[in-house]
Structure 1
Amino acid sequence: MISPELPPSIKAALDDALQGTARTELAPRAASISAAYRQGGHSGVIRSRADALAYALVRMPATYAAVAASLNALCELCADIAPSTLLDCGAGPGTASFAAAQAFASLGTFTLIDANPALRSLALELAQHDPRLAQLGYLAGDARATLAKAEPAELVIASYMISEISDSAQRALADLLWQKTADTLLVIEPGTPAGFARIRDVRARLIGQGAHVLAPCPHERACPMVEPDWCHFTQRLPRSRAHMQLKAAEVPYEDEKFSYLVLSRQAPAERAARVLTQPQLTKIAASVKLCSDDGVGIVTFPRRDKAAYARAKKLAWGDALRGSDSQ
């Protein structure tokens, strides 16, 4: 399991990059970038080094936390997974690649793709602080056109980038991501109804092309989630002092909501139900909302069954629940 916090080397690299840059200069840039994204914008609003730094301080920690949580879910179910090559599509400042490097000591080749020159430049600068990433390859250009030219990789990640392209382009990109996946594909989107809708579309499309779902779903049938509900998870992470200053935040932590999907060329050795919300505990029972082989529903663990109740009390939103754990 890897920590949801940025690695010390990347934190130190960001501190070095900030030398000589006033926080008062970055705060309005961070606010402008956040507003643009909320209105459906994309990374094209990041045009300078100062913009890239503001983005990295405000969004990079939360994005890293979501990627780390998704990789932890993958490793929990596939303890022996050991990819040697990574393809990071829409890599931005390198966030997903930094998380993958922490999760897999086996990774030796890192290939990143992004069209934004300011984010690409920052990623290369930050990578110099990590010996394993210092020689990463960063391909510049449009995601689909550049991805088409890239070599396949054992682990492919598309983190918070599908939303930046049109619906028709999303379908074509999903196909191409799967074509470039030699083993495992991880897709992450914001934990909103719209973000989940994109994840569900990718899921259905690629299952139709032979993909197997590793997480979070316990099956490959049609998604049983019914509107207005949607499948998403949350990862809490501490805020740095700079982050709090830029966002004018009052609490020292942030809860990043995200939706994710892990697909594989290989069928999983086992399936696990997924906890979809924080379990509710009462004096009578523990109620757990699960997505299982039977669909989405509430499973109750009565307090009189001390062993089952004790297991349920340890569960958290996003946990995998194997069949033996629910007995």
Structure 2
Amino acid sequence: MITPDLPAAVKAALEAKLQGQSRQDAAARAARISQAYRGGGPSGGIASEADAVAYAVVRMPATYAAVAACLNALIEMRPEFAPTSLLDVGAGPGTASFAAAEAFASLASFRALDANPVLRALALELAAGAHRLNDLDYTLGPTRTQLDHAAPADLVIASYMIGELPESEREALAATLWIKTRDTLLLVEPGTPAGYQRVIAARAQLIAAGAHVAAPCPHDHACPLAAPDWCHFAQRLARSRAHKQIKGVELPYEDEKFSYVALTRQPVPQRPVARVLAPPALGKAAVAAKLCCADGVARTVTVPRRDKTAFAAARRWDWGGAVAPANLPQIPPQHTDG
């Protein structure tokens, strides 16, 4: 398991890049880029080294934390998984590559694809200081075109990039990502209703093509949630001094919300019986939690204090965590939440 914090060498290199730059200018650049992203814009708005550094200082820690959380969930479900090759699609400053390098000591080949030259330059500069990524193979060009020509990899990651494409291109992208996946594909999007819809559409498409869900879902059935509900999770991460200055905030941490799915070629041998879909309500008399269960149904369960063993286990449940069979109380199959 890996921590949600950027590797120290990457963090130090980013802060060194800020030396001599106006924090006010960096803040303005970061705000402009964030506004473009919230509006569904692509990374083309990051047009200079100063843009890339401002973006990376503000967004790279949160994106890294989200990808790290997803990889930890994957490792929990598949502790035997030892990929040797990574394909990072829409890699930006290489965030997912750094997270995968921390998660899997087995990785020997790192390839990245992106169309943004200044993000690629920053990624290569950061990688030069990370011994695992010294030989990062980063191809510059239209992501869809480069993906068509890329060799398959054991682990393929598309992190925060599906939303940059027109809706008309997303189905073809998902199909190609799956073609390039030898073993496991990880898709990560912002934890918004729109981000969830992008993830769930790709999930349904690829299950129909033969994929199996490793995480977060404990099943391959259709998602049981219906609007206005949506499946998302959160990862807390510490903010650096530079991060707080550029974002103009005082809080020493932030919670990055994300939606994701990890899909595998082969069925996962041991799935959890449930996944916690929201922060549990902890009370003196009981713990109540919303769970996605292995039969494809979302349920709200209440574990009373009188059931001492189950209650003690339920008090340790976290949003996004897997629930082991021994820790799930008996629940009526018809009790569902849509």
> For structure 1, which segment, 267-276 or 33-42, has the greater mean C-alpha deviation from structure 2 after superposition?
33-42
Contact 2:158 2:186 in 1 (8 A): yes
Secondary structure of 2:131's match? coil
Q: Deviations over 1:171-223 (max 9, x none)?
A: 10000000000000000000000000000000000001000100001111111
User: So what's the TM-score if we normalise by structure 1?
Assistant: 0.98
2:19 counterpart residue number: 19
1:176 counterpart residue number: 176
1:63 counterpart residue number: 63
1:325 counterpart residue number: 327
1:314 counterpart residue number: 316
Q: Does 1:157 align with 2:164?
A: no
Secondary structure of 1:156's match? strand
Equivalent residues in 2 for 1:19-98 (5 A)?
Answer: 19-98=19-98
In the alignment, the residues of structure 1 paired with residue 189 and residue 268 of structure 2 have an alpha-carbon distance, to the nearest angstrom, of: 23
Shift of 1:283: 2.5
Contact 2:275 2:322 in 1 (8 A): yes
Matched to 2:318, the amino acid is A
Contact 2:15 2:57 in 1 (8 A): no
Secondary structure of 1:234's match? strand
Aligned residues: 327
Q: Report the RMSD for the aligned CA atoms in angstroms.
A: 0.9
In the alignment, the residues of structure 2 paired with residue 172 and residue 224 of structure 1 have an alpha-carbon distance, to the nearest angstrom, of: 25
Q: Which runs of 5+ in 2 are unaligned?
A: 330-338
Secondary structure of 2:185's match? strand
User: So what's the TM-score if we normalise by structure 2?
Assistant: 0.95
Shift of 1:250: 2.0
2:137 counterpart residue number: 137
> For structure 1, which segment, 44-53 or 16-25, has the greater mean C-alpha deviation from structure 2 after superposition?
16-25
Q: Deviations over 1:101-148 (max 9, x none)?
A: 000000010000000001000000000111110111001111111001
In the alignment, the residues of structure 2 paired with residue 21 and residue 135 of structure 1 have an alpha-carbon distance, to the nearest angstrom, of: 29
Q: Does 1:293 align with 2:294?
A: yes
In the alignment, the residues of structure 2 paired with residue 319 and residue 210 of structure 1 have an alpha-carbon distance, to the nearest angstrom, of: 25
Q: Does 1:258 align with 2:255?
A: no
Shift of 1:45: 0.6
Q: Which runs of 5+ in 1 are unaligned?
A: none
Contact 2:286 2:303 in 1 (8 A): yes
Shift of 1:25: 2.2
Secondary structure of 2:197's match? helix
Q: Does 1:236 align with 2:236?
A: yes
Secondary structure of 2:209's match? coil
Q: Does 1:201 align with 2:201?
A: yes
Shift of 1:20: 2.9
In the alignment, the residues of structure 1 paired with residue 13 and residue 84 of structure 2 have an alpha-carbon distance, to the nearest angstrom, of: 25
Shift of 1:323: 1.4
Matched to 1:84, the amino acid is T
**Runs ≥4 in structure 1, deviation > 4 angstroms?**
none
